[in-house]
Each structure stands twice: as structure tokens, then as C-alpha cells.
A and B are shown apart, each in its own frame.
Chain A
Amino acid sequence: MGYFDALDIAASGLSAQRLRMDIISENIANISTTRTSQGTPYRRKVVVFEAQDNNVRFSELLTESGKKNPLNQGGGVKATKIVEDPSPFKKVYDPGHPDSNEEGFVEMPNVDTVTEMINMISASRSYEANVTSINATKSIALKALEIGR
């Protein structure tokens, strides 16, 4: 078992939550974007997380400790995909808008401010939880250094 595995795992959690926060910011920033390169209004993006299992390192295989040690479970979290939310666009009546159709409706992005705000709070709390876990790991690693002093 690698000595700094716990730190790496928590760090993977931090970067995953930060990416999630980035995407939430993008969604909020584009809340009224009606033009994209695909010709549609902006579609809300969602990050997909996946648990990482069993990443045996090369050095561990080399020393054979990785082979007999079945404890090598868990390598944190990884953001594997950023997918687009397929839910329908919101229709807003605004005949003066340059992107309005013949009936005067404009298709607006399928972004909901409240949902994004709640996800943002969730992301920042999860980030804090990972920071706490890093601090706990750090404190016990430093405690181990005090042995035999």
C-alpha cells in the first residue's frame, strides 16, 4: 500500500469537484445563450463521475508487494465524461429577439438557476470534505514521524 495513497485519493476528489464547479459556472454563464456552433441554444452540461478501482502501481508490481497484497482497492474518483442534458429547451415569448421564430418564441437554454446553485453548494461542500480528509491524513502521517523521538 502506497504511503500517500490517501492523499492522492483525496486530491482526485478535489479535482473532480473543481471540474464540477467549472461546469456549473459554465452553465450559469450561458444561462441565456441562444447561439452555439451547433446552431441550437446552449445545452446544459453535466459531469459524470466514476469510482476508480484497484490501480496497482508499477513499483508495487516490481517489488511483488502489489501481487500478494489484496488491499490495493480504490484509487479515488475520476470525471470520465461531460455530457449534455437532453431535456427540452425553454420557450420564451419575445418577438423582438433576433432568434425568435415566426410565432415570436425564443428557445432558451435548458439551464435552471436554482438547480445550478444547489449543485454548486453541493460541490463546494464535497470539496471541503476532501480538504478535511487531506488534513486528517497529513496529521496522522506527521504523528507517525514522532515515533521514537
Chain B
Amino acid sequence: MGGVVKLMDDLFGSMKFSEKAMDAAWLTNKTISQNIANVDTPGYKRKTVKFEEILKSSSAQSFEGLKTNSLHVDIGSSIDDENIKIVTENENLSYRIDGNNVDIDTEMASLAKNTIKYNVLAQSVNAGLKRIKTVISEGR
């Protein structure tokens, strides 16, 4: 039974990152929408999603660190939803007289970038599933 679980983990493990990254991209899309909707709201500060930094620090999942102190933490703790954060950036910055710091050009560029990123991730998940399908059908 444990072997089956291991096998499923091996099969779908590579997709886990893509799934999380897709979640993050979806949230980024929502955040950009929020920024665009509030482009004319006085005092509004733009929000961004912190995910890539967290992913970088936790992508070394296959290694196990040597713990010589009780304060040491695991290398590559799993990525939970709690690790994806929405932050308000540059709260003191405003380049408009109404205190708003949304730059519509930046937002539109991020929106386009994020859409492509999401599509890439969806395609990679799809490719992963196709590979598994090929294996199941013995390459036929």
C-alpha cells in the first residue's frame, strides 16, 4: 500500500509545484484586477503577491538538512496556501497628488505576463498528465 502511495507521489509529485504556482498566478491575477479597479481611488496603494521568493527558498525539497541545533528548521518545508502572501508595496510612495500609487502601465504589463505564466503552467501540467497517460497505455 505504501508502495502505491510512493508511486503516486512520484507520478504526480512534479506537478505539485506547478499546481501551487498556478494557485499563486490565479491570486496574482486577482490582485492585479484589484489594483486596476482602484486606479482612480485616492490613497489606494498597490498590492502584490509574494510567491516566487517563497518558492525559491522551499524548492530544495528532496534534501534533508543536518540539524545540529534545536532551532534549525527543515530545508524545503512544503508550500502551503499560508505561505503565499499579499503585501502592500511602497506604502509611503505616491507619485500622484491623490496618494494613489497604481501605475496602470505596470499593471497591464503584469497582467499580460501573468496570463502567459498561467498558460505555461497549465500546459506543463497537461504535458505531465499526458506523459503518465502514455506510460499507463504502455506507450501506445
Contacts and interface: CB of A to CB of B under 8 A. Distances in A.
A122 interface: yes
Interface in A48-98: 49-51, 68-71, 73-77
Interface string A1-38: 10001110110110011001000000000000000000
Contacts of B52: none
Contacts of B39: 13, 126, 129
A55 to B, nearest CB: 11
Interface of A: 1, 5-7, 9-10, 12-13, 16-17, 20, 49-51, 68-71, 73-77, 122-123, 125-126, 129-130, 132-133, 136-137, 139-140, 143-144, 146-149
A143 B117 CA distance: 11
Contact of B36 (A7, A10, A51, A71): A10
Interface residues of B, number: 37
State the main secondary structure of chain A at its contact with B.
helix
B37 A10 contact: yes
Interface in B17-74: 22, 25-27, 29-34, 36-42, 44, 47
A137 B29 contact: yes
A136 B29 contact: yes
B26 A140 contact: yes
Contacts of B31: 73-74
A7 B81 CA distance: 21
A51 B40 contact: no
Contacts of A146: 122, 126
B115 interface: yes
Nearest to A74: B34
B96 to A, nearest CB: 12
